[in-house]
Structure formats: structure tokens, C-alpha cells
């Protein structure tokens, strides 16, 4: 089966291969410039030739506070206009179309009123070659070495980046993978980004590491195993949280963790409780008392290490300090792995049934773990020519965004705009409507984006004020679909 993004634009009749005729129209919504036969769609499946007219295949998505009064509207059908009240309806960029090249005004420049202030929202579907995804994968399981290539269908689409607290991080896409390698690398990268951004699962292979299936809002599946819990904290933090609850029930607790393994009686928390040093020395590099780095190699065993037998991290037991009958708990940072030992006459740890008081605390570790999820953030640069669809003087839009005068949303979802130059936005795909993203085979992703600001500010930045229309005017000719506003998102039209 051919790759969905390997469909050549020429399948849709590339420029100069077919003469213009009444039946063939040219789409100029992206640089591919497909010529599309009647009844067929262009290379990205977003535009089609419907009876000789170029149409956007998907309806425009509008969001409404409260339940949508009319969920779907087709032009030509009776409509009494009650759907749209400017205060409660927001036009998103989803299905809005793109105006390429961007010196043309954006497809929708819509006015509204807020508490007596005239507002404007500029709406478009931006085409992003400079874009990628940041993936946060809640797991301690070893995915692969930092900087290791992440591959789909054998093509590198990104790399492993710096791990965060309880999560492994991947950086995917970017202009180098989209445009700088082979055609296949670009199309596979674009397809993987598109599926992830649209909340679909993607299986990735990490070089010298694991296979992981990632889907936004779902637990990761690492080497076929569905992750359940995110660790409660590092080994040292786990000691800090539960030391008091272990006190009196165990003589030593070792919390096994790939990054910082904790040893209770040496740790500040154990000292604070006046616990007797137990003389168990673990492998690895001592950072501070009771905190050890690199007790083992990373892996799929206890606490994100390669450990299967927890006793393997014990370097020695000091006979001057340890004693017969000493009670030792070894536990992982999620409570998934735990074993209870009592030292015999030779000071050897012997596995014993775990007492209820200890089991209760181990279960509490698990209870305090949050569900493991995958988070997918889109990141892209909106500081390029897209701005010309908003204003004749693009740097003023950038300044207005930086001055918080202009609010940037993607499909109505709030964005984080990076400090410094440009308009580099980040958005959580789960806060956007489903299937918000599209692609073009250049290859690049298509992202809905909206800029909202007071009309006065829009005029001052050199905006296309002659193209401002009311919401009713904008929707009169559009085929649109109304979705309920997501309550967790702030309403974007605000002063």
C-alpha cells in the first residue's frame, strides 16, 4: 500500500501537465498548485473540484459557549441567524482555508464586540515547514539514550531529548527532517507528526532502545507493555515522602531509581527521625548522604533500571553496623516492585513475607502515582509570511503578540508564545478540537491559527481593516460545523 503522504501532487494533475479547461481548476492554497479534475480532490485531500468550483472539503469549525444551537450548517439551507451571537461564537482556523501567498488578506477577518470594545479575530490555516512536536511520555522505563534517533518505518523523524521528572521526552519533526533529508524521510516525518497531532497512535523505534506506541492523552506502550503509573518521585523524594510512615516498621529502606536511589537511614529524612545507620552500602556514585546516582544501567526493570534482582545493587553490608534480624525493604518508585528481607546470622538478606504495615505504605506509593499519559505539544513558527495575511506591516503583529495585545489561539486553544524573536507558538493538541491538523505534500503541516485583538490595535498595526466583516457575514456563505466550547480553555476574545 502506498504511503498516504507519498501521493504525488501530480496525481492531482500538477501544473503544466494539463492544459486549463473548464473541468480542471488550479488550487493555489499552497505552493504545490495542484490542478484538480472535476469531482476529484487535490494532493492533500483538503481541496476538491466540485462542479468546477474549488471547495475546502472539511467544513469551517466554529466554537460556541453553551451547546451549539445548530451543529451543522450548509449554505443554501434555511437559517434564521440565531446560531451566531458574536459574544458566544468563535470562528477557528479549522477548515478556514489558506490564502497563499500570504500577501493576500487572511480568509476570515471577523469583528465582534466585547463589553463595548470592538474586537477583531484574524483566522487562517497556516502552513508550517518549521514545526515539530514535543512528546512527554510518563514512564521510567528506558526508552533509549539521550540524542538517540527516533524512527518510523526506518526513517529518522526525531530524537530522544532531556528527560524530565518522571517522564521521557522526545523531540520530533522540525525543518531538517521535513525538508533536509530524502523525500521519504520528509513524508514519513510529516505523516507521523500529522497522526500524533490528530491524536492517533504512532509506533516508534528508538535506536539502541525500546519500541514505544504514543497517542496523546493515552498511556504509552513500551515494548508491548502498557504503562500504568508515573513514579511518585525520584528515589530520594520517595524516601522524603514516606520516611515517617516506615519508621518503626523497617530498619532500612532502599528506593531503587535509575536517577537517584535513596537509602533511608543515611538520608536526611532518616537522620531527622534518629534512625540507626544500617550499614547497607549500595553501588553507584554517592551524591549526598543517602542519595546515589547510577546504581545500575537504565532498563525495563526496577525503577527504570535494568535490575531484576534488587539485591544486586547492594555492594556490601557492614558487619560493624548491621545486625541479625535487621528488617530491609527494597522498593521501586512506583511501588510496582517491592521485596522484604530480614538479615540472618551471617547478615545475609533473606526474603520474607511482607508485613501488613509495610505493604500498606508500598500500596500508598502506588496510590500516589498519577496515571501515566502521553502529552503531545505542537511547536511551530508563525512569525513568517503568514503574518502578511494579518497586516501589511508584519513586525507590528509580532510586537503586538509580545505586548500581549494580540492573543494567539490554535483551533481556539490557548498557546504559549516563546519569548524572544518571532512568533514561536506551542499548543497542547488535546485542547484543540479533534482532527484539527492537516498537511500539504511540500511536506508541511497545516495548523489552524487565530489572532484576536482590539479593532483599534488592528488598525494601528496596518491590518486589512477593509476586509473586516461581521460574524454573520463571514458565516453566510460558509459551510460550517459548530462544536461546544471546551470549558477548560479561556475564551479568546477578551481585552
Burial of 252 (0-12, 13-18, 19+ CB in 10 A): buried
485 contributes a contact to ligand SF4 by CB under 6 A: no
Burial of 161 (0-12, 13-18, 19+ CB in 10 A): middle
Cis peptide before 101 (omega within 30 of 0): yes
Number of H helices, E strands in the chain: 8, 35
**Helix ranges, 111-174 (H):** none
Find out whether 175 and 129 touch, Cβ atoms under 8 Å.
yes
User: What does the alpha-carbon distance between residue 3 and residue 423 come to, in Å, rounded to a whole number?
Assistant: 32
Q: How far is the CB of 48 from ligand SF4 (least distance, A)?
A: 8
Q: Point out which span in 22-30, 57-65, 302-310, 382-390 binds ligand SF4 (CB under 6 A).
A: 22-30
Burial of 28 (0-12, 13-18, 19+ CB in 10 A): middle
Q: How far is the CB of 102 from ligand SF4 (least distance, A)?
A: 14
Q: How far is the CB of 37 from ligand SF4 (least distance, A)?
A: 12
83 contributes a contact to ligand SF4 by CB under 6 A: no
Q: Which helix (H) or strand (E) holds 195?
A: helix 183-197
Q: Point out which span in 42-50, 235-243, 264-272, 375-383 binds ligand SF4 (CB under 6 A).
A: 42-50
Q: How far is the CB of 462 from ligand SF4 (least distance, A)?
A: 27
Q: Hey, which residues between 45 and 64 contact ligand SF4 (CB under 6 A)?
A: 46-47
Residue 42 or 173 having the CB closest to ligand SF4: 42
440 contributes a contact to ligand SF4 by CB under 6 A: yes
Residues 6 or more apart from 231 whose CB is under 8 A from it? 140, 166, 238, 257, 303, 304, 332, 333, 334, 369
- Which of 441, 443, 448, 463 touches ligand SF4 by CB under 6 A? 441
Q: How far is the CB of 446 from ligand SF4 (least distance, A)?
A: 8
Residues 6 or more apart from 487 whose CB is under 8 A from it? none
Question: What string marks each residue from 170 to 189 as x (binds ligand SF4 by CB under 6 A) or -?
Answer: --------------------
Q: How far is the CB of 110 from ligand SF4 (least distance, A)?
A: 22
Q: What is the DSSP string of 214-250?
A: E-TTS--EETTEE--B--SS-HHHHHHHHHHHHBTTB
42 contributes a contact to ligand SF4 by CB under 6 A: yes
Residue 44 or 376 having the CB closest to ligand SF4: 44
- Which of 5, 29, 137, 178 touches ligand SF4 by CB under 6 A? 29
Number of residues that bind ligand SF4 (CB under 6 A): 15
5 contributes a contact to ligand SF4 by CB under 6 A: no
User: What does the alpha-carbon distance between residue 216 and residue 201 come to, in Å, rounded to a whole number?
Assistant: 8
Binding site residues, ligand SF4, CB under 6 A: 9, 12, 27, 29-30, 32-34, 42-44, 46-47, 440-441
Amino acid at each position: 500500500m502506498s504511503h498516504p503522504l507519498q501521493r504525488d501532487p501530480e496525481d492531482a494533475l500538477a501544473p503544466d501537465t494539463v492544459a486549463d479547461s473548464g473541468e480542471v481548476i488550479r488550487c493555489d492554497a499552497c505552493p504545490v498548485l495542484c490542478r484538480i479534475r472535476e469531482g476529484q480532490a487535490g494532493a492533500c485531500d483538503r481541496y476538491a473540484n466540485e462542479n468546477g468550483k474549488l471547495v475546502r472539503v472539511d467544513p469551517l469549525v466554529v466554537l460556541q459557549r453553551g451547546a451549539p444551537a445548530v451543529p451543522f450548517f450548509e449554505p443554501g439551507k434555511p437559517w434564521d441567524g440565531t446560531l451566531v451571537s458574536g459574544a458566544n461564537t468563535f470562528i477557528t482556523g479549522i477548515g478556514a482555508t489558506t490564502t497563499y501567498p500570504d500577501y493576500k488578506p487572511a480568509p476570515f477577518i471577523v469583528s465582534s464586540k466585547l463589553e463595548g470594545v470592538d474586537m477583531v479575530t484574524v483566522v487562517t490555516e497556516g502552513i508550517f515547514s518549521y514545526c515539530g512536536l514535543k512528546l512527554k511520555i510518563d514512564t521510567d522505563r528506558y526508552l533509549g539514550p539521550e540524542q538517540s534517533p527516533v524512527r518510523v518505518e526506518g526513517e529518522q523523524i526525531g530524537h530522544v531529548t532531556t528527560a524530565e521528572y518522571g517522564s521521557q521526552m522526545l523531540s520530533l519533526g522540525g525543518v531538517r527532517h521535513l525538508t533536509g533529508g530524502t523525500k521519504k524521510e520528509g513524508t514519513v516525518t510529516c505523516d507521523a507528526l500529522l497522526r500524533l497531532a490528530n491524536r492517533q497512535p504512532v509506533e516508534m523505534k528508538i535506536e539502541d532502545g525500546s519500541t514505544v506506541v504514543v497517542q496523546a492523552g493515552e498511556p504509552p506502550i513500551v515494548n508491548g507493555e502498557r504503562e500504568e503509573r508515573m513514579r511518585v518521585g525520584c528515589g530520594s523524594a520517595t524516601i522524603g515522602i514516606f520516611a515517617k510512615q516506615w519508621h518503626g516498621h523497617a530498619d532500612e529502606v532502599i528506593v531503587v531509581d535509575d536517577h537517584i536511589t535513596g537509602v533511608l537511614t543515611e538520608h536526611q529524612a532518616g537522620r531527622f527521625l534518629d534512625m540507626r545507620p544500617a550499614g547497607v552500602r549500595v553501588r553507584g556514585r554517592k551524591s549526598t548522604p543517602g542519595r546515589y546516582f547510577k546504581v545500575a544501567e537504565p532498563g525495563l526493570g526496577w525503577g527504570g533500571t535494568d535490575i531484576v534482582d534488587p539485591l544486586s545493587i547492594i555492594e556490601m553490608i557492614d558487619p560493624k553496623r548491621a545486625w541479625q534480624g535487621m528488617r530491609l525493604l527494597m522498593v521501586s518508585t512506583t511501588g510496582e516492585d517491592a521485596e522484604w528481607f530480614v538479615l540472618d546470622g551471617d547478615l545475609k538478606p533473606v526474603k520474607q513475607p511482607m508485613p501488613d504495615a509495610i505493604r500498606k505504605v508500598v500500596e500508598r506509593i502506588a496510590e500516589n502515582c498519577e496515571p501515566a499519559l502521553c502529552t503531545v505539544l505542537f511547536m511551530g513558527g508563525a512569525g513568517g509570511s503568514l503574518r502578511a495575511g494579518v497586516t501589511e506591516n508584519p513586525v507590528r503583529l509580532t510586537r503586538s503578540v509580545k505586548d500581549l495585545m494580540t492573543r494567539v489561539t490554535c483551533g481556539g486553544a490557548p498557546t504559549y508564545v516563546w519569548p524572544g524573536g518571532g512568533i514561536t507558538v506551542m499548543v497542547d493538541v488535546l485542547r484543540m478540537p479533534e482532527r484539527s491538523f492537516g498537511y500539504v505534500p511540500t511536506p508541511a503541516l497545516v495548523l489552524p491559527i487565530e489572532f484576536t485583538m482590539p479593532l483599534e490595535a488592528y488598525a494601528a498595526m496596518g491590518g486589512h481593516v477593509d476586509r473586516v466583516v461581521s460574524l454573520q457575514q463571514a458565516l453566510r456563505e460558509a459551510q460550517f460545523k459548530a462544536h461546544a466550547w471546551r470549558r477548560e480553555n479561556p475564551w479568546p476574545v477578551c481585552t
